[in-house]
Amino acid sequence: MKALQLVAHGNPGRFELRDLPDLTPGPQEAVVRVRACGLNRLDLWLEEGGLPIPLRLPRTPGCEMAGEIVAAGEGVTSWRAGDRVAVQSNLFCGECEFCARGEESLCLNGQLLGIQRDGGFAEQVAVPARVLVRLPEGVDFDTSAALTLAGSTAMHMLTDRTRVKPGDWVLAIGGASGVGSAAIQIARQLGARVISTGSTEAKRALAQRLGADFVLDSTRDDWPAEVRKITGKRGVDLVVEHVGGAVLEQVFTCLARGGSVVTCGATAGREPTLNLWPFFVKQQRLIGSYGRNRADMAATLEWARDGKLKPVIDRVFPLGQAAEAFAQLRGRAVLGKVLIRP
């Protein structure tokens, strides 16, 4: 099988398209023929060696894959060859106290597929059968590969880590990003009024098409003041944040009394400062969110089947042009998702 392997970290890193032996599943594993795999910021962090976890090369990146099962290993009873599946990329043990109660995103023995194990920028991937989620009828591989990582991250943030009530004000940062584009749609479906941000005209237009009621220019220093103006000085009930750094500091000035900030990323900085006085006087919350549970994946795919959550696909590349896809995402000239079809 063909696989794209990262052989040296860098910006850009060095990739090689290699011919590797076909995979055979171990006990409780399945081998999936990958049909589409989304590209994510996580892949860029792997490329440049910028993750706070030990990395070994060569490594096949890719963590947002969909395809069909080609072989099921010993002890796998609920899957057979030909089944169409999405793959949950934060691998979980299924046995620790958190997995036992369905909180796989808190697993004590978690591993990241495409980072600590070879991922989906390859014709085949071998994974524990417990991380497979069945694709609903009518959901194609591209849709799954464009939604199941960032989309289910947003699903976890908005329906598990926090709750959204009809009429709430929700601020979804970066409305053209994977998490932001899903957060706008999910918040709207839950009856919220949505404000979003974007750094270019095209990104703001996309956020508006996805249902945001107001979209602000994030390159202007006064966008937090605009949020306060739109909400009649009240502020928003919930901020869906994934940037970190100065943006995390700014969103607290947009937050209503009793409001929450839920965050799942820190591209712009991992050590923001927080003024605790307004934070506790206004009884606000800062909530961490990491990955997703299996239930969030299933919900994301069901919403996609029902037309409540639409993928935003910018461009699809063949495996041989994967390095170009990485460059495009790094250049931030992307509206929605970049996919690779191995």
In the complex, which residues of this chain contact Zn ion (CB under 5 A)? 92-93, 96, 99, 107
Query: For residues 102 and 278, which CB has a smaller minimum distance to Zn ion in the complex?
Result: 102
Query: Please, which residue, 4 or 99, has the CB nearer to Zn ion?
Result: 99
Task: Tell me the two tokens of residue 36.
Answer: 């589409």
232: left (phi over 0), alpha (psi -120 to 50) or beta: left
CB of 213 to Zn ion, least distance (A): 39
Nearer to Zn ion, 98 or 214 (CB): 98
Residue 101 or 163: the one with the smaller Cβ distance to Zn ion is 101
Closer Cβ to Zn ion, 96 or 287, answer by number: 96
3-class DSSP state for residue 126? strand
Phi, psi values for residue 273, rounded to 5°: -100, 155
Inter-residue long-range contacts of 206-211, CB under 8 Å, 24+ positions, other chains counted: 206/175, 206/176, 206/181, 206/312, 206/335, 206/336, 207/172, 207/175, 207/176, 207/180, 207/181, 210/175, 210/181, 210/184, 210/185, 210/310, 210/312, 211/184, 211/185
CB of 129 to Zn ion, least distance (A): 15
Output the smallest distance, CB 276 to Zn ion, in A.
33
- Closest approach, Cβ 106 to Zn ion, in A, equals 8
Closest distance of CB 85 from Zn ion, Å: 20
Could you give the CA distance from residue 27 to residue 316 in angstroms, rounded to a whole number?
Answer: 34
